[in-house]
């Protein structure tokens, strides 16, 4: 009987030590897309975020070679669209990665205690528009 109790105790102790850490959940990813498609993807991201109130939303933008302004546009566009939808922006964080061949983005949910989904991410704070110089709406240099 004593052997059984010791074996049972060892079994129970070993079974509870191997709990996995929570992991980030990828909601969506995109490349060069049109506005309507981006709206739908970000709306889905907002729904997933509202369904999981303890999670943080992570937006990862990868600038393309020579198209940093376009990546900045995606970042600002997602932020402003989230504001318009009255999403709590304290629950969404923006990050960027090293340049790639083209602009890419991904949307993630981050549970409490989970690590960032991609190594070497840099937090990307909002950059206000420079209105001190003229610009042309819709030109490639502004996007």
- Which pair of structure tokens corresponds to residue 104? 């890419």
Please write the tens of the pLDDT for every residue from 3-56. Answer: 655 565 655 555 555 578 899 999 999 988 888 898 999 999 999 999 999 999
State mean pLDDT over 49-75.
90
Q: In whole angstroms, what is the distance from residue 79 CA to residue 42 CA?
A: 10
Task: Say how many C-beta atoms besides its own lie within 10 A of residue 132's C-beta.
Answer: 5
- The predicted structure's pLDDT at residue 125: 82
- The predicted structure's pLDDT at residue 142: 47
Q: Please say whether the beta carbons of 60 and 121 come within 8 A.
A: yes
Average confidence score pLDDT of the chain: 83
Q: In whole angstroms, what is the distance from residue 92 CA to residue 90 CA?
A: 6
- Which pair of structure tokens corresponds to residue 119? 């190594």
In the chain, DSSP assigns E strands to 25-30, 56-62, 92-96, 104-110, 122-123
- The predicted structure's pLDDT at residue 131: 72
């Amino acid at each position: 009987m004593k052997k059984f109790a010791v074996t049972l105790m060892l079994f129970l102790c070993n079974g509870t030590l191997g709990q996995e850490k929570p992991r980030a959940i990828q909601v969506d990813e995109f490349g060069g897309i049109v506005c309507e498609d981006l709206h739908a993807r970000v709306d889905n991201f907002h729904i997933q975020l509202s369904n999981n109130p303890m999670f943080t939303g992570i937006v990862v933008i990868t600038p393309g070679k020579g198209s940093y302004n376009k990546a900045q546009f995606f970042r600002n566009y997602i932020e402003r669209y989230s504001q318009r939808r009255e999403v709590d922006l304290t629950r969404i964080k923006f990050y960027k990665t090293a340049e790639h061949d083209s602009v890419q983005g991904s949307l993630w949910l981050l549970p409490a205690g989970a690590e960032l989904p991609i190594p070497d991410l840099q937090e990307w704070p909002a950059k206000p528009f420079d209105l001190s110089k003229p610009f042309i709406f819709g030109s490639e240099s502004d996007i």
